Structures are given as C-alpha cells and as structure tokens.
Amino acid sequence: MDQLTAMRTFRHVVDAGGFSAAALVLDMSHSVVSRQVSQLEQALGAQLLNRTTRRFALTEVGQAYYQRCVQILDQIEDAAQMVHHHQSHPSGLLRINAPMVFGIMEAGKWLPEFMRSYPDLKVDFVCNDRFVDLIAEEFDVGLRITRTLPDSTLVAKRLCASDMVLVAAPAYVKRHGAPRTPAELAAHNYMAYSLALQTTELTFSGPDGALSNVAVNGNLQSNTGMVVCDAVRAGMGITASATFVVCEDLRRGDLVQLLPDYRLHSRDLYALYPQNRHMSPKVRAFVDFVGDYYARNRWAF
C-alpha cells in the first residue's frame, strides 16, 4: 500500500462527504476508494470511519488522524509548489566564480543589468586567480578564459573568443623600438602572467601559417594580469594579453599592438557549471544572459 496515496484518498472521502463523492473527484471506482481506506485502517491498526449503508462518521481517532493528514498533505503541497516556483523562476543565491582580471574588467558592464532583470536573485560574485573547484566550494557557475579545459564532469558552454595580442606602451616602443619578427623579442623585456600555461615561450602563427616558438624573458612576472598590464602601460616592457584586458587601451592609443601580422593562440570564454539532470533556472538565466551579451564582438579595437 502507498500510505501517502491512501492518506489523500481518506482525506477526499472526509472532505467530499462519502466514498462515492470522493470516487468522482478522484476519478476512481467506489471499490478502489473503499479498499484504500480499509488498507489504511489495517496498516494503522485502528478504525477511522464508522460506516453504514447511507452515511459514515469519523471515529474519535479518525478525527484526530484526519486533522494530521490535512496538515501533512498541505505541507507536502506547499513544498511541491515551492520547488515548482524555484524551477520556473530564477531566485535564491547565485554563486559565481571568475578570474580576478575578468571580474574587474568585465562584470561591471553586464552584472547590474542581469540583476535588474532577475530581482529575486542574490549574487555572490567571487574573483580570484587560483584554481577553484566549483563543486567543492559550492559555486553554481564559473567563468573561465582559457585555451584548453581540463577533463571534468562540469558542463562547459563556450561563449566567445578573446584574441591574444602582443602589446607595449608607445613610450616603450619609442625607447626600445618595435620588434619586426618574433625572434627579435629576445632583445626585449617580456613581462609574464605567471599562471599562464607558458611563461618563457610564445608560439606565433606567421603570415604563411607557419608556427614558430620564441623564448622570452623579462624582469617581472605576476599571478594577476592586472599587475603585468599596469607595468606595460607604464612603459616597462612588453606582454601578451587577452584583448578583453587591453582593447580599450588599444582604442585610445595608450598601448600599441606589436607584430600584427603574427597571431598568438586565442583564448575562449566558457561558462562552467555542474552537470545536473535538471538545470536550475538561476544558472540557466545567467548562462543565457552572459551568452547573449558576448554573442557580439565586444573586444574589437
């Protein structure tokens, strides 16, 4: 016997005022309704209803049990409604993780509008430049700009690409000249982001498509791209940067692109989130919103 179903049937019998009336409401036969109530009484070891051929009445214990049934079934319905609302409407706390430089440079451009669009959401936006286990640290979604993603159980949705460009300040170029080929970088002060896959070598694709690996060296590296780019803006050296970091500098002329005929491997922006059978509305809303925002090329210069 399914006790919860039997409880619902018992409640309908009492609310409808009889077995036949309950059977009509439940779209069940009179005999099935009667059998479910009898099985419930047998399981409980108590008589809930006094029956006659024309009417029935609750026993004393039946009255007490009926009141508890109403409370329990209403709570179950409330819980189901809560889940339904949650699954159909973005709400609650959304925890987002992103690299520090991306959060500083980009989140302010779209996060306010996202939150205005979903006023029932609270957002915890955490930025750092260390490896973060999204599941272990209970993040709902992560944003990553990378060339390759490690094997993972996470779902990865590619949102857009960010080219990598070699840049320097005009003042640096004035003092030291601009490299004309990748090989000439050996004579320049290259500043590296220490968490990059490669900090001492760059791979270029030339105008003819040929690949060349070039060793680079300099007097500064940092685990945050902000420090490196600030040093380059100050005219201290050269770096390879994602365009989302330097596109405004290039538009204003505060930085210049070096070796424009040679391409570095681009990076992709991904949204990562745990693989669940039912994707939560808050994660879906965020991934769709950010995906729509970056569907347009935001980092051209």
190: pLDDT strictly greater than 90: yes
The two three-digit tokens of residue 156, written as one number: 């990865």
Domains of the chain: residue spans and CATH: 3-88 (1.10.10.10), 92-162+267-293 (3.40.190.10), 164-264 (3.40.190.290)
Q: What is the Cα–Cα distance from 78 to 301, expressed in whole angstroms?
A: 54
The whole-chain average pLDDT of the chain stands at 90
The two three-digit tokens of residue 136, written as one number: 């272990």
CA angle 294, 253, 159 (to 5 degrees): 10
Exposed/middle/buried for 255, CB within 10 Å: 0-12, 13-18, 19+? buried
Q: What is the Cα–Cα distance from 95 to 102, expressed in whole angstroms?
A: 16
56: pLDDT strictly greater than 70: yes
Q: What is the Cα–Cα distance from 66 to 164, expressed in whole angstroms?
A: 69
126: pLDDT strictly greater than 80: yes
Q: Are strands 141-146 and 92-98 parallel, antiparallel or unpaired?
A: parallel
Could you report the per-residue pLDDT of 234-284, keeping only the tens digit for each?
A: 999 999 999 999 999 999 999 999 999 999 999 999 999 988 766 789 999
Could you report the per-residue pLDDT of 154-164, keeping only the tens digit for each?
A: 999 999 999 99
Could you report the per-residue pLDDT of 168-179, keeping only the tens digit for each?
A: 999 999 999 999
